[in-house]
């Protein structure tokens, strides 16, 4: 049955993790698609931000890849699909025969659907390796790790809807939803603010969210733990803890309290660069509210102590009993439209679908029974580790919709490493900086041309639907993977449509088991959804946590300065974030005229006193230099940063800030420390 009506088809915005619904209908020109509001969409009720409103600009774009390309004598030539598939399968077999399965790496993509990512990780595991990962490693891997360890599930505890209706205090740390999740901000948070919710934002940069906040704590980059310890110490000293909740539902409280026995709040406030009385006021607002909700973003997660940063937010929620009911919780705001789902379906080096640890023998066997082959049990490499091992122990790479040469830290080294691979295949909709290095480039369909499911930031699984024909010689990622899998292994990959893949996902993932395409309908369902009568859970942990003993884990953490701190040669802390019109490495968004017009080039915010000392005029080009590279950008002289801090965006491929950032990893979650690198600003440069 066709899913198109006169009104168009209902689908989901391809950009951020809010998961806004919209309608698409075909225009008069071949391939043209237009957006109409979907007023009944469950998340956004018809509203879209600038990115969602401009999302069709990349669909019928003249630079879309239209044919498979094979590199020959250093140049790409057009090839048939058959030639491309033959080369890919020959090379993958050769690498496995000569070097073993762990010599290949696989990168999934949060821009692709659950079904496509599920197939990619199944392909990796059938090949015999756990070297498979996705870009959550660069955004919320530490959040997922801390939430899973201490509460049980690596996802937002609550829903945007219940937070708007019930939260009295919003504690937003290291996130800027007004820029990065605009509809979540305008439809939910701002609405709550208008109804008198109190907002605290902790962030080193003045931004759109801080301008709406009642209290902005402009913390120095990398000092979130001491700031939260001041808050926790004050809560203990004033007896604002929820003793009943702690007694019934947590463990580790006594040890946690001991870690703060000797804690000096004045000294900590100085380390953070925030007045003690402001932190204490924020603590009182949070701890004495009826319902207080925490939001966290990459300002917390992208540190070498990212897992501990998020653990301290969990400590705050557990100590005050702010979990397990509407308007509370610890809520990561996810960046891409399917980063939650990409993790759910097991596109990670350490978990199989449904977050089954690779060393859980019993549960692994259940997956093996459905898949019909033995799963690899050797721990895999994360995506940053795969890039670091390229040319050393990793010799082949399969990349679906990712651009690590721009997105990974220490990007010059990433490029140097990927150049040493024996074989790389990239499937994408545009030629990216990574695809330029590939041996085979496969043209994939865009978001408007394919169907499948995506899972948004509050665990809502929603259906995307194709609105227009498959252009040129492109193919769906799903069809490419079924072909590669079938050619390599003969069976296990014969799926004719996304729904058939989803039916297998339901068999191996209990949290999706109660969902079917019919049940998802237009509203979607929030996981966990265990059986066909289960309506899903808008908020988690009402009675118990999903840990082995059902208790939430408290664990005190101490300040760990960034691994690279300013010195004489590199006297600034460089920190990064993005703006509303940005999306990842700009492969799509810089090709959108509407988005590109707003901020056509990269820039760096420099404090006026630093600018005066260095002789920098507003809008002058400067060179940012770190131990790993140098990039020329325009200086914006303003007070959005404190002295000694500079702030830029990793969005632009022609001034790639990730050539400067540090690739040191959080030891638990293996997320890199993007948010704090030592750098200097050189003035004498040609633009």
Site membership for ligand SF4, residue 15 (CB under 6 A): yes
Please say which residue, 41 or 399, places its beta carbon nearer to ligand SF4: 41
**CA–CA distance from 292 to each of 164, 235, 284 (Å)?**
11, 14, 11
Closest-CA residue to 637 (of 646, 629, 628): 646
21 binds ligand SF4 (CB under 6 A): no
Token pair of 297, please? 């973003």
Q: Are 139 and 335 in contact (CB under 8 A)?
A: yes
Distance, in Å, from the CA atom of 313 to the CA atom of 303, rounded to the nearest integer, reads: 15
Binding to ligand SF4 (CB under 6 A) within 413-432 occurs at none
Task: Work out the number of other CB atoms within 10 angstroms of the CB of residue 493.
Answer: 19
CB of 48 to ligand SF4, least distance (A): 4
* Contact criterion met (CB below 8 Å) for 178 and 203: no
Nearer to ligand SF4, 49 or 438 (CB): 49
Q: Six-digit token pair at 146?
A: 């801390």
First vs last Cα of the chain: how many Å apart?
56
Question: d(Cα 615, Cα 613) in Å, to the nearest integer?
Answer: 6
Kindly tell me which residue out of 49, 172, 206, 671 binds ligand SF4, with binding defined by CB under 6 A: 49
The residue (of 183 and 637) whose beta carbon lies closer to ligand SF4 is 183
* Least gap, CB of 297 to ligand SF4 (angstroms): 14
With contacts defined by CB under 6 A, name the span among 44-52, 352-360, 618-626, 671-679 that binds ligand SF4. 44-52
Binding of ligand SF4 at residue 588 (CB under 6 A)? no
Q: How far is the CB of 583 from ligand SF4 (least distance, A)?
A: 8
Between 18 and 199, name the residue whose CB sits nearer to ligand SF4: 18
Number of residues interacting with ligand SF4: please give it, by CB under 6 A: 14
**Closer Cβ to ligand SF4, 315 or 338, answer by number:** 338
Nearer to ligand SF4 among residue 35 and residue 274 (C-beta): 35
Q: How is residue 408 written in tokens?
A: 């990974």
| Closest separation in Å from C-beta 183 to ligand SF4 | 4
Query: With respect to ligand SF4, which residue has the nearer C-beta, 582 or 670?
Result: 582
User: Closest separation between CB of residue 44 and ligand SF4, Å?
Assistant: 6
- Closest-CB residue for ligand SF4? 52
Restricting to residues 535-574, which ones interact with ligand SF4 according to CB under 6 A? none
Q: How far is the CB of 177 from ligand SF4 (least distance, A)?
A: 9
Can you tell me which of 8, 10, 16, 661 binds ligand SF4, judged by CB under 6 A?
A: 16
Q: Are the CB atoms for 639 and 206 separated by under 8 Å?
A: yes
CA separation for the pair 559, 230 (Å, rounded): 11
Q: Which is nearer to ligand SF4, 474 or 592 (CB)?
A: 592
Give the up-direction half-sphere exposure of residue 451: CA atoms within 13 A in the CB hemisphere.
19
- Please spell the DSSP secondary structure of 282-309, one letter per residue: HHHHHHHSSSEEEEE-HHHHSSTTHHHH
Residue 463 binds ligand SF4 (CB under 6 A) = no
Least distance between ligand SF4 and beta carbon 467 (Å): 16
Question: What is the pairing mode between strands 104-107 and 396-400?
Answer: parallel
Map tokens 């006297």 to a residue. 571
CB closer to ligand SF4 out of 158 and 387: 158
- 20 lines the binding site for ligand SF4 (CB under 6 A): yes
Q: Does 18 participate in binding ligand SF4 (rule CB under 6 A)?
A: yes
Q: How many CB atoms lie within 10 A of CB 243?
A: 11
Q: Is 452 helix (H, G, I), strand (E, B) or coil?
A: strand
**Segment 182-241, which members bind ligand SF4 (CB under 6 A)?**
182-183
Whichever of 10 and 291 has its CB closer to ligand SF4, that residue is 10
| Tokens describing residue 625 | 């230099």
Residue 360 has a CB neighbour count (10 Å cut-off) of: 14
51 binds ligand SF4 (CB under 6 A): yes
- The secondary structure element, H or E, covering residue 416 is helix 411-418
Q: Is the Cα torsion angle 189, 192, 194, 199 positive or negative in sign?
A: negative
Q: Which residues pair with 173 in a beta bridge?
A: 202, 296
CA dihedral over 130, 131, 137, 142, signed as positive or negative: positive
Return the exposure string of 628-657: e unless at least 16 CB atoms fall within 10 Å of the residue's CB, then b: bbebbbebbbeebbbeebbbbbbbbbebbb
Tokens 């899913």 belong to residue: 3
633 binds ligand SF4 (CB under 6 A): no
Q: Which is nearer to ligand SF4, 96 or 465 (CB)?
A: 465
CB 619 within 8 A of CB 197: no
Instruction: Name the minimum Å distance from CB 13 to ligand SF4.
Output: 3
Task: Output the smallest distance, CB 185 to ligand SF4, in A.
Answer: 8
Binding flag, residue 52, ligand SF4 (CB under 6 A): yes
* Helices 306-319 and 224-237, packing angle to 10 deg: 20
Alpha carbon of 260 to those of 21, 217, 235, 252, 312: distances in Å? 46, 21, 11, 13, 12
3-state SS, residue 481 = helix
CB of 159 to ligand SF4, least distance (A): 15
Give the binding range for ligand SF4 (CB under 6 A) out of 18-26, 62-70, 189-197, 491-499.
18-26
Shortest CB 14 distance to ligand SF4, Å = 8
Query: CB-wise, 193 or 236, nearer to ligand SF4?
Result: 193
Using CB under 6 A as the criterion, what x/- string covers residues 347-386 for binding ligand SF4? ----------------------------------------
Residue numbers 159-188 binding ligand SF4 by CB under 6 A: 181-183
User: Shortest Cβ distance from residue 45 to ligand SF4 (Å)?
Assistant: 11
Count of other CB atoms within 10 angstroms of residue 93: 13
For ligand SF4, the closer of residues 89 and 186 by Cβ is: 186
Q: Which is nearer to ligand SF4, 53 or 561 (CB)?
A: 53
Between 183 and 511, CB nearer to ligand SF4: 183
Q: Where does this chain bind ligand SF4 (CB under 6 A)?
A: 13, 15-16, 18-20, 44, 48-49, 51-52, 181-183
């Amino acid at each position: 049955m066709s899913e198109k009506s006169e009104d168009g088809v209902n689908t989901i915005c391809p950009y951020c993790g809010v998961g806004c619904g919209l309608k698409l209908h075909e225009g008069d020109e071949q391939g043209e698609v237009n957006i109409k509001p979907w007023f009944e969409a469950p998340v956004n009720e018809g509203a879209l931000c600038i990115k969602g409103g401009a999302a069709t600009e990349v669909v019928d774009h003249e630079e879309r890849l239209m044919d498979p390309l094979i590199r020959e004598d250093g140049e790409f030539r057009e090839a048939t699909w058959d030639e491309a598939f033959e080369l890919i399968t020959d090379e993958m077999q050769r690498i496995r025969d000569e070097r073993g399965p762990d010599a290949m790496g696989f990168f999934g993509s949060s821009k692709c659907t659950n079904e496509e990512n599920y197939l990619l990780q199944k392909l990796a595991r059938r090949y015999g390796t756990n070297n498979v990962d996705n870009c959550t490693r660069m955004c919320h891997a530490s959040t997922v790790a801390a939430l899973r360890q201490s509460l049980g599930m690596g996802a937002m505890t609550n829903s945007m809807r219940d937070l708007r209706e019930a939260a009295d205090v919003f504690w937003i740390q290291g996130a800027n939803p007004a820029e990065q999740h605009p509809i979540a901000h305008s439809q939910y948070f701002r609405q709550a603010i208008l109804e008198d919710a109190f907002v605290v934002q902790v962030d080193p940069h003045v931004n759109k969210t801080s301008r709406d906040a009642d209290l902005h704590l402009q913390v120095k980059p990398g000092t979130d733990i001491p700031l939260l310890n001041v808050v926790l110490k004050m809560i203990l000293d004033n007896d604002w803890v929820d003793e009943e909740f702690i007694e019934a539902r947590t463990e580790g409280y006594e040890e946690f309290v001991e870690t703060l026995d000797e804690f000096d709040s004045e000294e900590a406030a100085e380390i953070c660069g925030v007045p003690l009385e402001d932190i204490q006021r924020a603590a009182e607002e949070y701890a004495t509210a009826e319902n207080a909700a925490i939001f966290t973003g990459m300002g917390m997660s992208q540190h070498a102590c990212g897992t501990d940063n998020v653990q301290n937010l969990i400590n705050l929620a557990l100590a005050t009993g702010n979990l397990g009911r509407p308007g509370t919780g610890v809520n990561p705001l996810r960046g891409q439209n399917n980063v939650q789902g990409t993790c759910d379906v097991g596109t990670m080096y350490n978990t199989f679908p449904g977050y089954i640890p690779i060393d859980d023998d019993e549960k692994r066997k259940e997956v093996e029974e459905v898949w019909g082959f033995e799963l690899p049990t050797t721990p895999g490499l994360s995506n940053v580790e795969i890039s670091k091992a390229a040319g050393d122990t990793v010799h082949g790479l399969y990349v679906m919709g990712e651009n690590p040469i721009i997105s990974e830290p220490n990007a010059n080294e990433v490029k140097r490493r990927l150049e040493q691979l024996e074989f790389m295949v990239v499937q994408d909709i545009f030629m990216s900086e990574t695809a330029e290095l590939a041996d085979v480039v496969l043209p994939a369909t865009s978001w408007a041309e394919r169907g499948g499911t995506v899972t948004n930031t509050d665990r809502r699984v929603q259906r995307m639907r194709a609105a227009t024909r498959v252009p040129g010689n492109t193919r769906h990622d799903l069809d490419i993977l079924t072909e590669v899998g079938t050619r390599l292994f003969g069976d296990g990959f014969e799926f004719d449509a996304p729904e058939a893949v989803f039916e297998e996902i339901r068999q191996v993932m209990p949290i999706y088991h109660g969902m079917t395409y019919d049940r998802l309908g237009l509203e979607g369902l929030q996981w966990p959804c265990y059986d066909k009568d289960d309506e899903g859970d808008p908020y988690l942990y009402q009675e118990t946590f999903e840990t082995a003993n059902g208790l939430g884990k408290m664990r005190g953490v101490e300040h760990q300065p960034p691994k690279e701190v300013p010195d004489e040669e590199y006297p600034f802390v460089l920190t990064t974030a993005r703006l509303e019109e940005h999306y990842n490495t700009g492969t799509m968004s810089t090709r959108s005229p509407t988005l590109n017009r707003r901020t056509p080039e990269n820039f760096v915010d420099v404090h006026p006193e630093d600018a005066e000392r260095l002789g920098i005029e507003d809008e002058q080009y400067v060179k940012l230099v770190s131990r790993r590279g140098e990039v020329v950008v325009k200086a914006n002289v303003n007070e959005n940063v404190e002295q000694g801090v500079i702030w830029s965006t990793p969005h632009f491929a022609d001034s790639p800030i990730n050539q400067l950032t540090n690739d040191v990893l959080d030891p638990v979650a293996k997320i890199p420390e993007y948010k704090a690198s030592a750098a200097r600003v050189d003035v004498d440069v040609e633009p």
